[in-house]
Chain A
């Protein structure tokens, strides 16, 4: 057994970490979020071209380095440490992942554009009524000659205002919540008939409500794989946010420890109080569990569907719980200053809180795990 990173992986981590240390200090991030676009698109371009990192999880025949989920995990953990708002999750993990598994001409054409940083993807899958059920889809893709016509509404589509392409789940047949008939399409974001309502999210991203009204798309926009493909990609995305959570949890622990060493009360640094020492020890313990579960789930992503799903759900539920514990206690230990926009800690807490619910709440994943692991 060897759980260490190889030389290339170590280098990837270092390259990204060094770059983010320069570009993503707390003040710079604040400025990006406050800018009209809500980000600095130059940073994404630099990650893709100057650093050449976007090629890491793709196969060599697509111009990649032959990596996969582990490389995504490394990147996402580093992004988490600085609460970066770059669209790696949406573009590389989800968009790139779907294309990789589906293959075909669309993959040949699009993956190089992802690697070059020219293609930014947003994943339009959730619908207002659907909660976390990936098959609960009212959006329709009706066959029309060689192509399809899209109609429907997708909610809270992260990164949609920045995207060149939308990865859309839609129904070609079957009734709402039927697994059969659910398909995945990759389309240009500016197709006629697509409208968006953009807004910021509480964790610093931009997102949109996306509406499709008789949007004509070509037959080649369909990625073969149906609901199984979507579930696989969402499981990969789930592990990617768990990796991000690992970076976030660690940083929250470190910042809390540093703060309590500086902050004095009742005549001494509050780090000297036993009750806070024990609490921070518990936070450290939980942050370690986050990292362990991020690794466990990531390593199981290539297993057969049922084993993969069970592992991912177990990981996500545990990560959600631990993250809640670390985040809430980080804020409590910081006291009043922790609930202001002035210190970074609150911003970590906000992103962490959103991760708890992203791609399924603790309850949702515990239930999926139970159903798979203890069949009735």
Chain B
């Protein structure tokens, strides 16, 4: 047994590190450090750089544009990008619908959509959740009725992340109401410019416009935009969810988060000493690092299992539960470090605006991100649902 990286892995790590140092856009780093809201163009700029390098979809099979990296190399890559605080690539095309299309799609669908996902030409959004369904996904009600060579779709989706920018959406729709819930669902790719689609913003507690409601009123979708068989979309849905859950532990991002907390608490004073010398604050940071290390090794064990051919099973619920809790605790400590300066509410600063933030540069985003990150234990199957999965699938209760 050897937990150390091989010389090849270390060389790979250096290659990634150098590439990021030389190619990550400086203005993006500045925006991110200031906690500014990121534009569509911001998200796409890093995406395009990675695409040009051929690194935008490490998990994809090589024939469709993947890198052919080992799981360890993929782990190193995600670790390095998070360590350098690189902007997160939008997962909806790359990690969600892309794998569904190359696994279940027709040759035409593969040829049409996959290159555009890789290049960033199409921005995708996810039409899974519905009001009143939530983690009970299979109870969805949006229906699609056959009309000649089209489906006519009616219904409402919600929590549609970044739909305000989307060119395409992948939707779960009910094509057969007369069978068991999971058996009458189909997986449709819908052009977001089709008449009858309306996207309405939902503003979250931190003041962000991240999620939306999507209303579908007699939206006509060509039959050829259905992936896999009619009524068998649940197969695609489950496959996609399994993909969504890998990487949900967020270890690399949390490591970076703790580093930031330590930097902040070293700079901020508490009396005549840095905040990090305060025994109470220090203890909480230490406990967080301890729990994050436990999570990291759990993820490494999962990865090792995967490399040995064991697919990520219900154990991924462990990663979701602990990872999401740790992400929240990091924002909790950042808010605590801000003291009084957690209270000012600012929307970030526009281009050319040279007004200074209130208090320390980093402080005005601490409360909004604390509020916003309450979502981590709710989305991707709430932690209650994850505990249910462990109880049923692992413990056999």
Partners in one complex: yes
- Give chain A's interface residues, CB within 8 Å of chain B: 126, 128-129, 131-133, 136, 155-156, 158, 177, 197, 199-203, 207, 209, 263-266, 273, 275-276, 328, 331-332, 335-336, 338-342, 346, 349-350, 353-354, 357, 361, 363, 366-367
Contacts of B202 in A (CB 8 A): 340, 342
Across the interface, do B345 and A201 meet the contact criterion of CB distance under 8 Å? yes
Partner of B340, one of A156, A353, A367: A156
The closest CB in chain A to the CB of B272 belongs to: A177
Q: How far is the CA of A208 from the CA of B269 in the complex (A)?
A: 22
CB of B135, distance to nearest CB on chain A (Å): 7
Chain B residues within an 8 Å CB radius of A361: 336, 339
Counting CB contacts under 8 A, is B132 at the interface? yes
Please determine whether B341 and A156 come into contact, CB atoms closer than 8 angstroms.
yes
Q: Which residues of A contact B358 (CB under 8 A)?
A: 155-156, 197, 199, 209
B339 touches A131 (CB 8 A): yes
- Complex: how many Å from CA A247 to CA B207? 25
Contact B343 A275 (CB under 8 A): no
Across the interface, which residues of B come within 8 angstroms of A275, CB to CB?
384, 387
Min Cβ gap B117→A in Å is 26
Closest-CB distance, A16 to chain B (whole angstroms): 25
Contact call B280/A341, Cβ cutoff below 8 A: no
What residues on A are CB-neighbors of B205 within 8 Å?
339-341, 346, 349-350
* B348: interface (CB < 8 Å): no
The total number of A-B Cβ pairs within 8 Å is 124
Given A201-B344, A331-B374, the answer on whether A132 and B135 have CB atoms closer than 8 Å is no
A-B contact pairs, 11 of them (CB 8 A): A131-B269, A131-B339, A131-B340, A156-B343, A177-B272, A201-B343, A202-B344, A265-B135, A266-B139, A357-B336, A357-B340
Bound together, the chains give a CA A131 to CA B278 distance in angstroms of: 12
Q: Is the CB of B280 within 8 A of A136?
A: no
* Minimum distance in angstroms from B350 CB to a CB of chain A: 15
Q: Mark B124-151, 1 if CB is under 8 A from A, else 0.
A: 0000010011111001000000000000
Docked CA distance A128–B358 (Å): 10
The answer to whether B371 and A350 have CB atoms under 8 Å apart is yes
CA distance A349 to B387 in the complex (A): 25
Q: Tell which of B85-93, B286-294, B375-383 binds the partner.
A: B375-383
CB distance from B222 to the nearest CB of A (A): 31
| B204 contacts the other chain (CB 8 A) | yes
Q: Which residue of B lies closest to A133 (CB)?
A: B271
Chain A residues whose CB sits within 8 angstroms of the CB of B335 once the complex forms: 353, 357
Chain B residues with CB under 8 A of A367: 280
B5 touches A (CB below 8 Å) = no
Please determine whether B371 and A340 come into contact, CB atoms closer than 8 angstroms.
Answer: no
Question: Residue A353 contacts which of B129, B136, B203, B370 (CB distance < 8 angstroms)?
Answer: B370
Within the complex, what minimum Cβ distance (angstroms) separates B380 from chain A? Answer: 11
Q: Return chain A residues, CB-CB under 8 Å to B336.
A: 357, 361, 363
Pair B343/A328 contact, Cβ less than 8 Å: no
A353 to B205, CA, bound (A): 12
CA of A197 to CA of B368, assembled, Å: 20
Q: Is the CB of A336 within 8 A of B346?
A: no
B204 adjacent to A340 (CB under 8 Å): yes
Residues of B within 8 A of A339 (CB): 204-205, 371-372, 374-375, 378
Report which of A177, A202, A349 forms a contact with B368, defined as CB distance below 8 A: A202
Instruction: Report A227 CB to chain B, min CB distance, Å.
Output: 16
Q: Is there an interface contact between B159 and A336, defined as CB atoms closer than 8 Å?
A: yes
Query: Which 3 pairs, one residue from A and one from B, show the smallest C-beta to C-beta distance?
Result: A363-B280, A156-B340, A202-B367
| B343 lies within 8 A of A341 (CB) | no
Question: B58 contacts the other chain (Cβ, under 8 Å)?
Answer: no
List, in ascending order, chain A residues with CB within 8 A of B379's CB.
336
**Alpha-carbon distance A332/B280, docked complex (angstroms):** 27
Say if the beta carbon of B281 comes within 8 Å of chain A. Answer: yes
Partner among B134, B204, B272, B346 whose Cβ is within 8 Å of the Cβ of A335: B134
- Least CB distance, B56 to chain A, in whole angstroms: 29
Contact B344 A349 (CB under 8 A): no
A273 smallest CB distance to B (angstroms): 8
Question: B25 on the interface (CB 8 Å rule)?
Answer: no
A265-B367 contact in complex given A128-B341, A131-B339, A207-B343, C-beta closer than 8 Å: no
Q: Contact string, B305-340, partner A, CB cutoff 8 A, digits 1/0?
A: 000000000000000000000000000000110011
Chain A residues with CB under 8 A of B204: 339-341
Cα(A265)–Cα(B159), bound, Å: 17
A131–B341 CB distance below 8 A: no
Which chain A positions have C-beta within 8 A of B339?
131-132, 357, 361
Does B224 reach chain A (CB closer than 8 Å)?
A: no
A285 CB to nearest chain B CB (Å)? 19
Chain A residues with Cβ below 8 Å from B270 are 131
Asked if B54 is at the interface (CB within 8 A of a chain A CB), the reply is no
Closest A-chain residue to B328, C-beta based? Answer: A328
A129 touches B368 (CB 8 A): no
| A332 and B377 contacting across the interface, CB-CB below 8 Å | yes
Distance between Cα atoms of A202 and B342 in the complex (Å): 8
B230 to chain A, nearest CB (A): 26
Q: In the complex, what distance in Å separates the CA atom of A264 from the CA atom of B343?
A: 35
Chain A residue nearest to B138 (CB atoms) is A266
For the complex, is B359 an interface residue (Cβ under 8 Å from A)?
yes
Complex Cα distance, B371 from A245, in Å, reads: 18
Contact across chains for B134 and A336 when beta carbons are under 8 A apart: yes
- Bound-state Cα–Cα, A296 to B367, Å: 30
B370 and A265 form a contact (CB under 8 A): no
B340: chain A residues at CB < 8 Å are 126, 131, 155-156, 357
Measured between beta carbons, the chain B residues less than 8 angstroms from A264 are: 132
Contact in complex: B346, A265 (CB < 8 Å):
no
Complex Cα gap A126–B345 (Å): 17
Q: Which residues of B in the span 21-48 have a Cβ within 8 Å of any Cβ on A? A: none
Partner of A366, one of B280, B346, B359, B374: B280
Contact: A131 with B271, CB < 8 Å?
A: yes
A156 to B280: give the CA distance in the assembly, Å: 24
Residue among A133, A328, A339, A342 with the highest chain B CB neighbour number at 10 A: A339
